[in-house]
Structure 1
Amino acid sequence: MPLTNHVILITGAGGGLGSTAALALARQGATIILLDKNIPKLEAVYDAIKASHAPEPILYPFDLAGANETEYQELANNIEEKYGSLQGVLHSAVEFSGFTPLATLGTKDWGHTLNVNLNAPFLLNRVLLPVLQKSEHAAIVFTSDSSVRSAVAYSGAYGVSKIALEGLAKILAEELESFNKIRVNTLIPGPIDSPLRKRAYPAEDKGKLPKMEALDAVYLYLFGKQSVGVTGQMVDARTFNM
């Protein structure tokens, strides 16, 4: 299988696109570190991966918004101690409470959304880069949203965080490009039948949208050997053609 001997950490692995990616990559031979704060959901994904006869995943309960820098570093230390190196990180965790005018957006909601969607990816990358650099090739994949890229009204802290996340990905890709070891790309899933989409557009006919499993090939490409050397790119699932 193409991802045998790959260890990949996935945030937000307890549901939505994170769990979909975990199953898809595990079926291709990857050992998945399932990171989420919701333990029952993590256990359900763990059971699904085991039932598919894929490599046994690792459960790592972790609160991205509430953890301090020491706990982030302990996460990196534990991964390095157990595996020696890391071949991939998928930033799939997301916080979205609803469409809100900036004038009425509460400070608490603003801070929490930025912590999950922007600060957590920054902190994770910082502590995991030394572990990723021990691999011959490794991939960091951010998850953005096509609907907020034009800074649409009422997208609130979610919109701001995703716009900033794309900038973070681009800067990181350029900083790492000369080392030719870690590629950094951003996935644009497009409209898809996901829990996030249901919260954002409850009245929409989801039967007309692609299922989350439609992204399986994109995830395999981003973490597989086909994308080695490809970095700093926005990969739009709607136009993806490997």
Structure 2
Amino acid sequence: MSDLPLKDRVALVTGASRGIGAALAVELSRLGAHCVLIARSQGGLEETDDAIRTATGRNATLLPFDLQKQEKELDMVGPSIVERFGRLDILVHNAATLNKLTPVAHIEPKDWAETVAVNLTAAWRLIRTCDPPLRASDAGRAVFVTTGGLDRPSAYWGMYGATKAGMEQLVLTWAAEVAKTKLRVNLADPGVVATRLRATAFPGEDPTRLRRPADVAPGLAALCLPAEARHGARVEIAAASR
């Protein structure tokens, strides 16, 4: 349909094999975008692609690779997308790892390296590779999914909290640097959502009492629209009305 707000736009979504990333990819596709999806799981990406095809009749482009282990490949994502599609209009960095909850003094170097790589370093590399095409778009939009409570550190959450706080600082600094361009960069806090990461952190919690990824996908997608004017903001995402 010609009136779709994201018609002909290209969106890159990380962590798109399940949860919030998968739900957002479906929502962006419904709005007309062609989605390029990154995650470690080929099978999970194919499930998201199936959901997009069911919802829209169109396919996504799947990029299965590991944000921690394939850094050089990540550096080439922006240029590769432009070479194939001629543009990149939207970036959503949703991928994250909790790794494990542990006292700061007990954090293992391997766990620290993995968490920093996925939650912080990948954000930096995505900014580097996607900055040129997003600036070139007439309505470039970048959204980085964050978490609540970073101003109130909690015991055992140091590794996750430190990397997310670092990501926020990096993203908001980038936002300040591109403030005079057409690119809009924001943080998005979806709140408490029934995801695998949440289940790992709170195994005794009843997921049926929590918001589902599909509940927050429309609010996240709204930050990607050409009409979105907020910039350098930390946006709390409200659940869509059922």
Return the TM-score normalized by structure 2. 0.93
Unaligned stretches of 5+ in structure 1?
none
CA distance in 2 between counterparts of 1:84 and 1:60 reads 17
Which of 16, 20, 30 matches 2:23? 20
Indicate the SS of the match to 1:223: coil
Shift in Å, 1:240: 9.2
Q: Distance in 1 between matches of 2:117 and 2:79?
A: 22
- Structure 2 CA distance for partners of 1:238 and 1:150, relative to 1, 3 Å: farther
Amino acid at match of 1:145: T
CA positional deviation for 1:13: 0.6
Query: Pairwise mapping of residues 30-49 of structure 1 onto structure 2 (< 5 A)?
Result: 30-49=33-52
Aligned partner of 1:218 in structure 2 is 219
Counterpart contact for 1:24–1:220, Cα < 8 Å: yes
SS at match of 1:50: helix
**Map 1:19-98 → 2, pairs under 5 A:** 19-69=22-72, 71-98=73-100
State the partner residue of 2:144.
142
> CA offsets, 1:95-149, max 9 Å, x none?
1122110111100000110000000110111011111122101111011110334
Q: Please say which of residues 99-108 and 53-62 is displaced more in the overlay.
A: 53-62
Distance 1:80 1:145 in 2: 30
Partner-residue secondary structure (3-state), 1:177? coil
Q: Provide the C-alpha distance between the structure 2 equivalents of 1:45 and 1:22, rounded to a whole number of angstroms.
A: 8
Q: Is 1:16–1:196's contact at 8 Å kept on the other side of the alignment?
A: no
Q: Deviations over 1:16-37 (max 9, x none)?
A: 1111111111111110001112
DSSP 3-state at the match of 1:142: strand
Task: Please say if 1:164 is aligned against 2:163.
Answer: no
Alpha-carbon offset, residue 210 of structure 1: 1.3
Does the 8 Å contact 1:6/1:86 carry over to 2?
yes
Partner of 1:6: 9
Residue 127 (structure 2) aligns with: 125
* Structure 2 spans left out of the alignment, 5+ residues: none
Residues 58-113 of structure 1, C-alpha deviations (whole Å, 9 max, x = no match): 011121101133x2333222111111211100000011122110111100000110
Is the counterpart of residue 233 in structure 1 residue 214 in structure 2? no
Fraction of identical pairs, as percent:
32
Distance 2:75 2:99 in 1: 29
User: Matched residues in 2 for 1:185 and 1:39: separation?
Assistant: 28
For these two proteins, the number of residue pairs brought into alignment is: 238
